[in-house]
Amino acid sequence: MSNNNFITSNIFLFSLHQFLLLVHTKPLVPALYVFGDSLFDSGNNNLLPTMARANFPPYGHNFVQHFTGRFTNGRTLPDFIAEFLELPYPPPYLGIHDSVPLTGLNYASSACGILPQTGTIFGKCLSLGEQIDLFKWTIESKLPTHFNSLEELSKHLADSIFIFTTGSNDYIQNYLEPTLFSTNHDYDPQSFAQLLIDDLSNHFQSVYKIGARKIIMHEIAPLGCIPHYTRKYQVVVGKCHEQTNQIVSYFNTKLHELLKSLTSTLQGSILVLARINSLGYDVITNPSKYGYSDASNPCCTTWGNGSAVCIPWLEPCPNPNQHFFWDGYHNTETGNSVAASLCFNTSEFCTPFSIKDLIQI
């Protein structure tokens, strides 16, 4: 199939999916709520005074609505999850001006992270704490009018899916960049990981108190394998900067322990780990196994010789489906699709329960 035919086919399937959503009256869960960074942002940063935006081509190159603010060529991982759940794509919270949709919202904000200072060098973004504050305000001030009782609202939240990805920028924009912050002087890698985990624990407990019960948290991907770092350290094609991966591994190890601990202490909660790190590493080191011809280079032409974001308006590569990376940091749509499908269907990837399992609980 040619690239043009693929795009046309995608447009048709997208339109058909949206039509079916309009006539389908029973999604698999009430709502999907999204929190995180540029991996999940669907347009919140478009409405903030920041340089961290993707509201220009070639971002959205294979997306029907084109450049919406998504840092990829097409759909994000939460977009695919929404499709699997037979829900509309959760719209960016900052773009909602009238009635709040009952099917979910996206609070993710590019460049930000767990720590409040992360991402501020680019301007204003929503830290994880700010995203949760906005979610709390939504639940307390906007949603109650749509339900007959607080019990109905509580059930809506308890049956909904909450999906998170955060922490990458705390390393990329913070700990691993000594010219910006002093955290790498103040903390060794293990202590910095614990700092993030302690804050993250508080945020998950806050979301639980508001009403969330089914929470999915993604590991940090193998940052030493993304073009931003492979170009910086000039590693051999197909290889990774393992020192960077080791630094990130401390966070992921502690994250596993945190989610197990919170599931046991927060009554009625289920906190699921999405094993994105091992998947990303396997894709990058064994690309042909997943159908990729290139898992080392970005598809778009970027600033910094392949190590940063796309240069506006330049044509991307003609075969994005064969690339794992869209720019120096983010996956192509196909990478997002693989991870979303695994999380929805298999408890080996999203553990101890897949999303399909969570629906039944």
Whether 45 and 125 have beta carbons less than 8 Å apart is answered as yes
Beta-sheet pairing, 32-36 with 161-165: parallel
Retrieve residue 317's tokens. 């590569």
Catalytic residue among 61, 218, 228, 330: 330
Distance of alpha carbon 326 from alpha carbon 74, whole angstroms = 10
Residue 133 corresponds to which amino acid?
D
Alpha-helical runs (H) found in the chain: 3-23, 77-84, 128-137, 150-159, 168-170, 183-186, 189-210, 227-232, 242-265, 276-285, 333-345, 355-360
Compute CA 94 distance to the chain's CA centroid, rounded to the nearest angstrom.
17
What is d(CA 91, CA 299) in angstroms, rounded to the nearest whole number? 26
Tokens found for residue 351:
């553990």
Cα–Cα distance, 329 to 57 (Å, whole number): 16
- Residue 360's CB: how many other CB atoms inside 10 A? 7
Give the HSE-up count for residue 168: Cα atoms under 13 Å, Cβ half-sphere: 27
CB-based burial, 322-357: b 16+ in 10 Å, e otherwise: bbbbbbbbbbbbbbbbbbbebbbeeeebbbebbbbb
Q: DSSP label at 181?
A: -
38 is catalytic: yes
Residue 37 DSSP class: S
- Cα 58 to Cα 228, 234, 316, 354: the distances in Å are 18, 26, 7, 33
Distance CA 150, CA 144 (A): 7
- For the question of residue 327 being annotated catalytic, the response is yes
Q: Which of 38, 42, 168, 354 is catalytic?
A: 38
Please tell me what DSSP assigns to residue 123.
B
Reduce the DSSP state of residue 354 to 3 states and report it: coil
293 as an active site residue: the answer is: no
Q: Please tell me which residue in 37, 79, 170, 327 is annotated as part of the active site.
A: 327
CB 252 within 8 Å of CB 280:
no
Residues tagged active-site:
38, 327, 330
